[in-house]
Amino acid sequence: MKRVSLTQYLVEQQREHGMIPGQLRLLIEVVARACKRIAIAVNKGALGDVLGSASSENVQGEVQKKLDIISNEVLIEANEWGGHLAAMASEEMDSIHVVPNRYPQGEYMLLFDPLDGSSNIDVNVSIGTIFSVLRKVGHTRGVSEDDFLQPGKHQAAAGYCIYGPQTQLVLTVGNGVVAFTLDRETGSWVLTQSDIRIPEDTKEFAINMSNMRHWAPPMRRYVEECLAGKTGPRGKDFNMRWVASMVTDVHRILMRGGIFMYPWDQREPEKPGKLRLLYEANPMAFLVEQAGGAATNGRERILDVVPCKLHERVSVMLGSRNEVDRVTAYHQQTE
Ligand code: P6P
């Protein structure tokens, strides 16, 4: 494959499809550069003062890892001066971060989980940064939390960076899904996959099985049928994977198919699910749909869900279309 850099890809997409206006191109390049800096911090491990927990909790009530805070600060500092953003929102911050008045405000808003899968940091399992881009509504300078409460189908771009054996940036601007691999010798992002497609069928499911007794009946029915294998109603054997790092599980599904599920749990019935809608489920749903897959909350398309709160949670079923359709149908039948 001819060596194509991230910048060249973005310029060519703008020239051929007009899908990446100047400010969006700058935003994507700045986020990609920030992910390189996060990769350097992640890869230091015990050699840098980056492992272990900080002495603080985030808005989710979760103990923050040092790398959660470092990654969040890298993304805020990299993005606030460029003039491409009006504000940012992060899993690690209670409220939105409005671009300071000393900088020009742009037409986009950036949302991110700066380091997803934090429980894996100290045990050297792949983790990642997830980001979502929305257009700022209205043209006055002010921006409020309500401006972020847009359904995921309004995203201008979405992607993640996975810090694994390779460091890869996976991106969509609404014209398919592409992947770039970091060339550490030159520090450049090189296009390595240009049209990622998720197979419609799969024999691999991803879910935290230890929660099985707490799921709703349709969720248990779907998984029990997978476990029944060849002699059961599905007539085929299934494999299971659960990395407990959403970026890693979703990346595997984009690469070879599968279904990822984090469903409602009766232990906290008021919570729709564990994962956050705006900066985890929405960007991943945009990527999965752009790669030919499907993503629902068990009842409706995730990208159609209208958020009520910045840190709202949602049930997630995403991946190979025929499997997501099946598990969604089981949920809808119990309506
Ligand atoms: P559990 C990581 O903390 C995360 O938010 C996702 O990346 C991951 O899919 C999920 O939680 C893992 O949850 O309950 O299996 O530890």
pLDDT digits (tens, 9 = 90+) for 64-89: 888 999 999 999 999 999 999 999 99
144/86 Cα distance (integer angstroms): 10
Q: Is the pLDDT of residue 138 over 80?
A: no
**Residue 155 Cβ contacting ligand 1 at under 6 Å:** no
**Residue 80 Cβ contacting ligand 1 at under 6 Å:** no
For a pocket test of ligand 1, which of 262, 279, 314 has the largest count of ligand atoms closer than 8 A to its C-beta? 262
Q: How far is the CA of 313 from the centre of ligand 1 (A)?
A: 13
In percent, how much of the chain has pLDDT > 90? 88
Residues annotated within a binding site for substrate: 116-119, 208, 274
Least Cα distance to 89 among 312, 328, 258, 285 occurs for 312
Least Cα distance to 162 among 265, 319, 287 occurs for 287
Q: How confident is the model at residue 1 (pLDDT cuts 50, 70, 90)?
A: low
The rounded mean pLDDT for the chain is 95
Which atom of ligand 1 lies closest to the CA of 62?
3
Most confident listed range (14-18, 66-70, 256-260): 256-260
Q: How far is the CA of 280 from the centre of ligand 1 (A)?
A: 11
pLDDT (0 to 100) of residue 44:
92
Q: Which structural domains are found in the chain, ordered by start?
A: 6-193 (3.30.540.10), 204-334 (3.40.190.80)
The whole-model pTM stands at: 0.96
* Per-residue model confidence as pLDDT tens digits over 149-175: 999 999 999 999 999 999 999 999 999
**Residue 245 Cβ contacting ligand 1 at under 6 Å:** yes
Q: How far is the CA of 118 from the centre of ligand 1 (A)?
A: 9
Cβ–Cβ < 8 Å for 274, 264? no
Which atom of ligand 1 lies closest to the CA of 244?
12
Rg (CA), the chain: 19
- Residue with CA nearest ligand 1 atom 9: 246
Q: How confident is the model at residue 54 (pLDDT cuts 50, 70, 90)?
A: confident
Residues annotated within a binding site for Mg(2+): 91, 113, 115-116, 280
**By three-state DSSP, how is residue 115 classified?**
strand
Q: How far is the CA of 334 from the centre of ligand 1 (A)?
A: 26
Q: How far is the CA of 238 from the centre of ligand 1 (A)?
A: 22
pLDDT (0 to 100) of residue 48:
87
**By three-state DSSP, how is residue 170 classified?**
strand
Separation of CA 324 from chain center? 18
Which residues, 6 or more positions from 168, have their beta carbon under 8 angstroms from its beta carbon? 161, 162, 179, 180, 181, 182, 192, 251
Mean pLDDT for 236-240 is 98
- Residue with CA nearest ligand 1 atom 10: 244
In this predicted model, which residue has the larger pLDDT, 49 or 229? 229
C-alpha distances out from residue 175 to 71, 171, 185, 289, Å: 28, 10, 30, 11
Q: How far is the CA of 100 from the centre of ligand 1 (A)?
A: 33
For a pocket test of ligand 1, which of 92, 245, 252, 314 has the largest count of ligand atoms closer than 8 A to its C-beta? 245
- Residue with CA nearest ligand 1 atom 12: 244
Q: Is the pLDDT of residue 61 over 80?
A: no
Which residues, 6 or more positions from 271, have their beta carbon under 8 angstroms from its beta carbon? 264, 265, 313
Cβ–Cβ < 8 Å for 287, 273? no
227/240 Cα distance (integer angstroms): 9
Mean pLDDT for 122-141 is 91
C-alpha distances out from residue 184 to 14, 37, 47, 167, 181, Å: 27, 12, 18, 9, 9
**Residue 119 Cβ contacting ligand 1 at under 6 Å:** yes
In percent, how much of the chain has pLDDT > 70? 99
Strand 259-262 and strand 204-206: pairing? parallel
Q: How far is the CA of 177 from the centre of ligand 1 (A)?
A: 24
pLDDT (0 to 100) of residue 119:
82
Mean pLDDT for 3-28 is 93
Tokens of residue 3, six digits: 């060596």
Which atom of ligand 1 lies closest to the CA of 119?
3
- Residue with CA nearest ligand 1 atom 1: 244
* Per-residue model confidence as pLDDT tens digits over 202-228: 999 999 999 999 999 999 999 999 999
